[in-house]
Structure 1
Amino acid sequence: MNIRLASLEDERTLYDICVITGDSGKDATGIFDQPDLLGDIWVGPYLHLSADHCYVVQSDEGVPLGYCIATLDTTSFETVTDAVWWPAKQAFYRKPDISKQDSWSRDERIAHLIHNPLRSPSEFLEEFPSHAHINLVPEMQGKGWGKKLMQAMEDSLRSAGSQGVHLILSAKNQNALAFYKAVGYQIIFERPGEIGVGKKL
């Protein structure tokens, strides 16, 4: 196994990995009627618009088994995705009726994020301007590959001039929080349902 830059040819596999880990770190297979919703938020924009900072760990056969994808400048990335990524997805996924929010399905809760893209808190972006996402299939977890992927991502961002990177995770995903702390991240913010962790580069 080894780590390499991701490519658009990996997109389908990375979307599938996103689903396998899409329920606060647990398998979300079968939970969503439109499972590509997850990848369209947390994988696709990075592969298409920030490829220089996207890495996969692959099997000896070349099949991705995990990824760490990042963007150098969160503010610029959000501006670009607003212009060139979200409009097509918003046209594809129906906007949920906000007046029926209490009865939204899982798909509708995620589709809401297509129409109202997540934003990193601006007050932390001067210190931690970059952000990333990481996911590994269960059999790859706990074997050191997550740490190696994070190092590849961090080295890439550091070489490009970033002084810090942050990640946002579900407050339910305590395993992920423990992992981030173990590789040098600290909690930098908390908001309903989410925790932000950051590291100086």
Structure 2
Amino acid sequence: MFTIRPATPDDRAALYRICLETADSGADATNLYRDPLLVGHIYAGPYLTFAPEFTFVLEDGGGEVCGYVLGVADTAAFEERLEREWWPRLREQDRDSAHLPAQERTPDERLTHLIHHPRRADPAVLAAFPSHLHIDLLPRGQGGGHGRRMMNRLFTALREAGSPGVHLGVGTRNVRAQGFYRHLGFRELAQTNGGITMGLRL
């Protein structure tokens, strides 16, 4: 009874909720953040806004969204667009926490630091894997091959856009997700700051 469909602007609240409920290495991070929208502002909202053609949701039998996969074909161009059109408004809402030592920042302050100083993809990775993606499923949407079907839906869209490869980031603690990606054919490209970058040729 699960279906995959293109996301619409009406799905924004669902994407933000799922993003938060999977933000702790796949587990619910609701209790970690005072501002429940911060995670979604970074990892969900900009994709629905600027790359809806690469944003898909999973609906359960009751029509409720319980997962998403989203990405972009050209990561470098996407990062430049966010710098012009997405981050400035958010920077006005939350002050930069750069004045605090990294180890003293709260979870919210770590995210606001990312808003003021967003990570940029490694050009060496982009040379072969210019696209990137995020996928998150709530527990009821996991299993049954839904994750694989969602990824294949996005892979098809990226191939049709002319992309030769896609990369993603996964936490070193999220062993389950790493296994899933490897099963799809992703291979490890680099490790930095508690995360692993993996890539797949399309």
TM-score bucket of the superposed structures, by smaller chain: over 0.9
Aligned to 2:9: 8
Per the TM alignment, residue 138 of structure 1 is displaced from its structure 2 partner at its CA by: 1.2
Deviations 1:87-141 (A, max 9, x none): 0111112211434332111111111111111211111111000000000001211
Aligned to 1:193: 194
Using the alignment, how far apart are the partners of 1:180 and 1:20 within structure 2?
A: 20
> In structure 1, what residue type is equivalent to 2:14?
T
Aligned to 1:31: 32
Q: Any gaps of 5 or more consecutive residues in structure 2?
A: none
Per the TM alignment, residue 142 of structure 1 is displaced from its structure 2 partner at its CA by: 2.2
Using the alignment, how far apart are the partners of 2:172 and 2:120 within structure 1?
A: 16
Aligned to 1:98: 99
4+ residue segments displaced more than 3 Å: none
Using the alignment, how far apart are the partners of 2:147 and 2:48 within structure 1?
A: 19
Superposed, which structure 2 residues align to 1:102-181 within 5 Å?
Answer: 102-181=103-182
- TM-score normalised to the size of structure 1? 0.97
Matched, 1:69 2:52: no
Using the alignment, how far apart are the partners of 1:132 and 1:106 within structure 2?
A: 23
Aligned to 2:43: 42
Using the alignment, how far apart are the partners of 1:31 and 1:192 within structure 2?
A: 20
Per the TM alignment, residue 60 of structure 1 is displaced from its structure 2 partner at its CA by: 2.9
Using the alignment, how far apart are the partners of 2:175 and 2:41 within structure 1?
A: 24
Matched positions, count = 201
Higher deviation after alignment, 155-164 or 186-195: 186-195
Using the alignment, how far apart are the partners of 2:22 and 2:100 within structure 1?
A: 30
> In structure 1, what residue type is equivalent to 2:134?
H
Per the TM alignment, residue 147 of structure 1 is displaced from its structure 2 partner at its CA by: 0.5
Per the TM alignment, residue 6 of structure 1 is displaced from its structure 2 partner at its CA by: 0.6
Using the alignment, how far apart are the partners of 1:191 and 1:141 within structure 2?
A: 27
> In structure 1, what residue type is equivalent to 2:29?
A
Percent identical residues: 38
**SS at structure 2 position matched to 1:109:** helix
- The verdict on how the C-alpha distance between 1:99 and 1:27 changes in structure 2, with shifts beyond 3 A counting, is closer
Higher deviation after alignment, 169-178 or 32-41: 169-178
Q: Any gaps of 5 or more consecutive residues in structure 1?
A: none
Deviations 1:132-161 (A, max 9, x none): 000000121122101011000000000110
Using the alignment, how far apart are the partners of 2:62 and 2:26 within structure 1?
A: 25
Using the alignment, how far apart are the partners of 1:119 and 1:170 within structure 2?
A: 17
Q: Tell me, yes or no, if the aligned pair for 2:60 and 2:141 is still in contact at 8 Å.
A: no
**SS at structure 2 position matched to 1:57:** strand
**SS at structure 2 position matched to 1:40:** helix
Aligned to 2:79: 78
Q: CA RMSD in A?
A: 1.0
- TM-score normalised to the size of structure 2? 0.96
